Each structure stands twice: as structure tokens, then as C-alpha cells.
Chain A
Amino acid sequence: MTAEFDPRSARAQVAIAGAKGVTAEVLSTQPRKDVIRNTIFASLLFLAIAIALAGLCVLVGKNLVDGWSRLNLDLITQNNSSNPAEAGLRNAIIGTLWIMLFVIGMLVPLGVGAAVFLEEYGNRNSRLIRLIEVNIQNLAGVPSIIYGLLGLAFIARAPLNLGYVVLTAAMTLTLLVLPVVILASREAIRAVPASIREGSLALGATKWQTIRRQVLPASIPGIATGVILAISRAIGETAPLIPLGAATFVTFTPGPFTDFTAMPVTIFNWVKQPQPEFQALAAAGVLLLIALLVVMNSFAIWLRNRYEQTW
């Protein structure tokens, strides 16, 4: 039989050291090919995000430099004026607020209602429902100028014939962002497990009571997130408002039934002016708009993370 193994013997020590060395070698050697590939791949991914961020940095940086001199309280407290030294966004902000108020008022019931119908009442296998679903997704991708023309043709003029007022703008923007809200609300409603609906129905609650008191409350965080994102998109839209006759130069304070204006429209108007002071003003306005959108989107993300139910 073999001789007794003594781990302290010199021979054994050598053998152990050798074995360790081999193991370390095997573990540490990464094929050179793999190293290169990994590095290239990681660099490309980094490049992708760097380009995206660079765009944002240039935008913010350029506007900061251009608009810094006008970035003060006067920007939001002064009405628009033909004198660039006195011009501000006050009436544009009020105009935007009026439009958004009407948008929210129409957007939430319409969007949530459509989502509840599609999720809770529509038969998912029916051809009509599937057709509606596909079209809602397509509508989310339609260019906003098309909605502006639609608003012009059907809302500002006959058949609705509302004229070029706040409500016209709000209805057009509502149509524009409605698909976003419907899709987000459907996601949120679908995320409520069937067991919750069954539990409620098994107690003798009606379908409507179940939707109203279980499904909708549980999906509020998701719906709210979708609504905020939709609103923040609507706030930044200029294109659909131009054909609706947005007043690009107003010095009055807009009300719910007056001619309308909005922040991006005013900024657009300033950019078109020859005076360099207006360019600075426009840059400051852009920064304000970006800041507003960042705050709204951050709030939406916070809301989702904080209140979203995990099942």
C-alpha cells in the first residue's frame, strides 16, 4: 500500500504549492480575446449613453450661458412686451395653466374610463377590441402637428366651431396625450391581480363596486404617473397650438374663455425676434420649461416608487 501521507513533509509542501499555483493560474487567466471584446462592448454602451447625455448637457449649457442674465424673478412676474427689457412669461404661464387645467379635467375621466372599459368590460378576444388596442398604440405615435390640424378642422371650426380659445387648445392637447394615459392606466389596472377582484366579488360586491373600490384605488399610483407624464408632454407642445391660432404675442392676462397662449408658443415667438435680448429671454424661458418638466417627471417617478403596490 502507499506510504503514509505527511502534509508537513517537504515533498508534500512542494506538491501543495504546485497545485495551488496551477489553480491560481487557471482562475486568473482570462483569454485575451474575451478581454478585448468585453472592453469594446462596454465602451460602445458607454458611448451610447454619453451621446444622449451630451445632447442634454449642450442644450442646458448653451441656454444657461445665453439666458443667465434673464434668469430672475422678472421672467415669471412680467407680462410679455414688445420691449425685450420688460418682457416676461407671466401671461404665457397663466395661459399654460388654464390649458392644463382643462386638459386634466378632460384627460383623467376620458383616459381612465377608456382604460377601465378595455380592461374590465371589453372581451380581449373580440376583433373590435383588438382593433381598438392597435389603434390606440398607433395614435400615441401620430405627429403632434396632425392633431393641431385636426383641432383646427373639427374643433376651432365647424362642427364644434369653438373658435381659437383655451378650450380648443385644451381639447386638442387632450386628444394628443390621451393614448399615453389610456396605455398607462391599462397597465396599472392590469397589474391588479385577479385574486383581488375575485375576493371582492365573492363578498357579494358588484362589478362596479369592485372596480370603484378595489381596482381603481390600487391602480391610482400607476394612473397618476401616466397622467403626469402626459401633462408634462402637453406642456411642452408647440406645434399643435400654432395652427389653432395660439396668440404668439399677448400682453393681456389670459382667462378660460379668451384667446389663448402658452409658454412654448411665447418662447417660439421670442426666438423669431431679431433683437438679441429676446434670444436671451428665450433661453431663460427654455430653462424654466426644462426645469418644470424635470420636476414633474421626478414627481411622477417618486410617486410610482413610493406608492406602487407590490403583490
Chain B
Amino acid sequence: MSNQVTQEERRTEQRQTGFAGDGAGAARPAIEVRAEFQHGAGCGSGEKVFELQDISVFYAGVPAVRDISMDVFRHEVTALIGPSGCGKSTLIRCLNRMNDLIPTAAVEGHLLYHGEDLYGPKVDPIQVRKLIGMVFQKPNPFPKSIYDNIAFGPRVLGMDGDMDEIVERALRSAALWDEVKDRLDANAYSMSGGQQQRLCIARCIAVSPDVILMDEPCSALDPISTGKIEDLMAELKQEFSIVIVTHNMQQAARVSDRTAFLMVELDADETHRWGRIVEYDETEKIFTNPSDQRTEDYVTGKVG
């Protein structure tokens, strides 16, 4: 229990430090998170983590997703589903500014994180990614030991505290500790794919983020490993907010509290295609009683 408080405090501290680069000093306005976000808000608190307002993303001027508006809530799992090419990955990569790494990518619209514009002129993407972690489609452990994989984040961020403790806590949170505690010095590539992916989740947890983004985290895994990661998500949402992209509708139904359904749209002469949100609602409603016919067709397997 005390562990959780420490982590919670650290996160709060980080958030209050804000996004402005360390070197920038006090001149830059730091992001202040309102008090009610900070402690024990509980599951599904109704507090907004992200507010997407008419978000469009372009690659070299060509739209990939258009006019996405949705709110992501704290301590919930929010799923993005939809057919291939509908821009789910593009959208999730906006949320921690990973799209900045693609020189031709441009984001339009407003993306608020705890009320603050994530694409504001004074926001440093490095600081954003400290608070909003990401787990990728293919497990991408570093070619180092299990221990060093976890310790890398805390080290580069200059987190203080006992590193052994940080590593153990992260591995425990990712339900990996018992499997690897005797071989922390082993190379991460000696683990199974499912373990590697949980290692990547643990690595993400180790830097105490506020949000964890998961881009099809189970698509390269077998059903048993997938089950473990789904169980893990249910645990993790007590402490973090999670956004997950998935191809697998059953997975979205199992793990998420809210689901957004995206679809591909074509322009009149069918030269460009982009993703647009069709329906966003509580997961139960999306899967049992969707308001849009296209959603119903998709979730019942009539199309896609």
C-alpha cells in the first residue's frame, strides 16, 4: 500500500514539474494538475485525462485521421477498434507525441491533457513522454539484461530511490517478478514473446507514468500470453489510465470500459482515405446496443 502512495506522489510531483524542459527553468508555466486528480480518484472517476477536439493528422499533407473528438477518462481502459488502415495507431501516437518523430506528420485540432494543450508551443515532447508511456505492437526489449531494461527509464530520467526496489516493484506490477526474479541478469531476448511484452509494460511502469498507451500489445502473442496481459490491464487501470488499440473486438469487449469505433472514409474521387470516429461510448453499449448501424455491422462481424 505504501508503495502505491510513493508512486502516486512521485507522479504528482512529476506532473507539477510540468512539461517544460528542465533547462527552461521557472520561466515556463508548469502544468498544474487539479488536486482532485492527484489522489485516490478511484476507478472510473469520470475525470478527463485527454480531451480530443477535432483532431486531424496528416502525413505529408495527406490526412490519416480526421475530426476525432473524444474524451478519455482517468483510471479507465479506453479501446480504439476498427478495420486496418483506419488510423487507430496514428491516433494513439498523437497522445504522447510519438508522431513528432515522423518529420512529415502534422496534427491539427486541440488535444488537452488534464486541461492543458499537449501541442502547445511551450510543451516539450520529451516531458510528455515521461508522463504518457507507450507499449508497442511488437515487443521491443532493449538488448540488455532484464534488470537494465527496467532500470533504463528511471536512470535516464534521473529518478532517485533504490534501483533494486524500483525494478522489483515494476516487475511485480507487470506480474513478471516470480518468473524472472532468479535471472534478472539474463538477456531480455532469452524471454518468451509474452514475457518480453510484459517486460515492456514493466519498463513503462517503472518511470511511473500517468497514462499507458498500448498499440496492439497482444497482436504478436499467443492466447495464453494475451490472457495474462489482459488480466494485467485490469490491475493496472487501478493505478494508471490506459488507452489500447486493438484489432481484436473480443479483447476490446473484455478489457475496456469505453470503446471508440473508427472507420475508413474515402473522398469523392476515392484518391484519399482516412479514419473517422463512428461511435464512442461505454464498451457495453458499443457491443450490445450500438446507436450506429455501421458499428453494429462491425461488432457483429457482418463487415470487416
Contacts and interface: CB of A to CB of B under 8 A. Distances in A.
Given A205-B156, A206-B126, A200 B142 contact: yes
B138 interface: yes
A195 B136 CA distance: 8
Contacts of A206: 126, 156
Contact of B156 (A196, A209, A218): A209
Contact of B143 (A198, A209, A309): A309
Contact of B98 (A193, A202, A214): A202
Q: Which of A196, A199, A201, A217 has the most chain B CB atoms inside 10 A of its CB?
A: A199
A126 to B, nearest CB: 11
Interface string A299-311: 0000000000100
Contacts, number: 66
B101 A203 contact: no
B138 A201 contact: no
A201 B129 CA distance: 7
Given A202-B133, A203-B153, A214 B140 contact: no
B129 A196 contact: no
Contact of A202 (B129, B141, B143): B129
A20 interface: no
A204 B207 contact: yes
B212 to A, nearest CB: 10
Interface residues of A, number: 19
B287 interface: no
Contacts of B152: 200, 203, 205, 213-214
Interface string A193-229: 1011011111111100100011001100000000000
A202 B203 CA distance: 10
A123 interface: yes
Given A123-B103, A196-B142, A209-B156, A202 B126 contact: no
Contacts of B207: 203-204
B128 to A, nearest CB: 8
B286 to A, nearest CB: 28
A199 B136 contact: yes
B172 to A, nearest CB: 19
A196 B140 contact: yes
Nearest to B149: A199
A123 B104 CA distance: 12
Interface in B198-231: 200, 203-204, 207
Interface in A133-187: none
Contacts of B243: none
A201 B125 CA distance: 10
Nearest to A202: B134
Contacts of B129: 201-204
Contact of A203 (B103, B138, B143, B203): B203
Nearest to B154: A203
A202 B156 contact: no
For the complex of A and B, 9 pairs with smallest distance between CB atoms? A204-B130, A195-B140, A202-B134, A203-B153, A199-B140, A204-B129, A205-B156, A209-B156, A309-B143
21 contacts: A195-B138, A195-B140, A196-B142, A196-B143, A198-B134, A199-B141, A199-B142, A199-B203, A200-B152, A200-B156, A201-B129, A202-B96, A203-B152, A204-B131, A204-B156, A204-B207, A205-B157, A206-B156, A209-B156, A213-B156, A218-B143
